[in-house]
Amino acid sequence: MADRIDTLYGPLSVMDDPRDLIRRFLEAYGEWGAVEAALARHLIRPGDIVVDGGACLGTFALSVAGANAGAGPARIVAIDPNADILPLLRDNLERLCAVDTAVVEAALGETAGEALFHPVPGNAGAGNLFGHRALTEAPGAESAAGATRPVPMLSLSDIRASHGDYDFVKLDIEGAAPAALRGDAAYIASRQPVAWVECNEDETALETFREMRALFGQVQYVAFPCHRAAPYRVPAQPIYPLAYEAALIGAAEDREITLPPGLAGEDCILTPLTDADSLRRALWRTPRWAMAQWVPLSRPALIALLGRQHLGQAWEEFLPETPPETLPGDKLD
C-alpha cells in the first residue's frame, strides 16, 4: 500500500521518497497549491468539463471538484506522463474525488506521437519532456530519479475526441504549453474555454503569452503564494519563508476574471496583459522568494528599508551615538 498523509483533501497517497518536494510540502502544510486551486475554482462553472494537464497526485483536481457533486465540474480528465505516480493519482481520485474522473497516461503536445520523459530527482511532479525525438537524442539515460523513457504524446484535440469538449484546461506541463495550445487551436479560438497555464520566469513565458494572445479574447497574469497564510497544518519550520508561483489565464473577452473574496488575505496579484512588456513587468514585480526576516515586516517598513538601500544608507552608520544593536529586519541584506 502507498504511503498516505492526512491532508486538506483527505488521506492522500503519496510518493515513497521522503526527500520529494511535494511529499515534504504535504507533510509540512497538509496541502499543495491550495491558493492556485482556489483561484482556478472561481473560474469553473457547475457542469464544466475540466482537463487537468500535469495532474501529479491529483491535488488540483480534488480542490476544484469540491466536496459535493453537482456544485463543481461534471468531469475531470487528469493527464500525466509519469508512470511512477499514475497509480497514486488513480487511487486518490477514485477514493476522494466527488465528481467523475478519467486518468490518461500521456504528455501533451501539438500532435499525437511519442515523447521522452526524464524524471527530475526530488520532485516527482516535474520532469523534462523531449518531444518527437529519437531515443539517441535524449540526455543521459539514467538519473537519480530513474531512466529517460518514451511516453505517449497526445494533443488536446485527441483528448477532446476521447473525452468530450472541455470548458476549462489547466496546463502545468514543463514548458510544453505553447505546443499543447497549438494542438487544439481551432477549438480554443472558437469556443474560448478558460485556460490556466503555468508561467515561470523562463524563455517559454513570452512564447506562451503570444500563443494565448492569438487565441483568446483576453489574457491575464495571476501570481499567488505557494501555500495559504493559514494552511491546513502549520509547520514548525517553513520549507520556504515565502514563495510565489504564477499562471496565465486565457478567456473570452466578456468573461469576468476577478480574485475571489475568500482569498483577500492571501496577497494574490491579478494583472491584465496587453503585450509582452506587460507580462515582463508583471513577472518582475512578483516576489518569487524572500529572506525570513522580510516576511513579517509591514508595507511601510519594507518601503522604508528599500529607500534606505536605494540611497546607500547603512544601519550601522545611522545616528551612531551609541553602538547600534542590529535586530532582525533592520536590513534587507
Domains of the chain are 3-284 (3.40.50.150), 296-333 (no CATH)
Taking alpha carbons only, the member of 8, 37, 35 closest to residue 196 is 37
- Read off the pLDDT of each residue in 158-171 and give the average, rounded to a whole number: 98
**The three three-digit cell numbers of residue 201, written as one number:** 520566469
* H/E segment holding residue 37: helix 34-41
- Read off the pLDDT of each residue in 153-167 and give the average, rounded to a whole number: 97
**The three three-digit cell numbers of residue 92, written as one number:** 486518490
Q: DSSP 3-state assignment of 1? A: coil
Residue that wins the pLDDT comparison between 321 and 199: 199
Tell me the pLDDT tens digit for each residue of 189-224: 999 999 999 999 988 999 999 999 999 999 999 999
Q: From CA 46, how far away is CA 299, in angstroms rounded? A: 38
Q: How does residue 327 score in pLDDT terms, banded at 50, 70 and 90?
A: low
**The three three-digit cell numbers of residue 306, written as one number:** 528599500
Q: Are 44 and 64 in contact (CB under 8 A)?
A: yes
User: For the whole model, what pTM was predicted?
Assistant: 0.90
* H/E segment holding residue 278: helix 276-284
- The DSSP call for residue 147 is E
Ranges 45-49, 75-79, 203-207, 322-326: which has the least confidence = 322-326
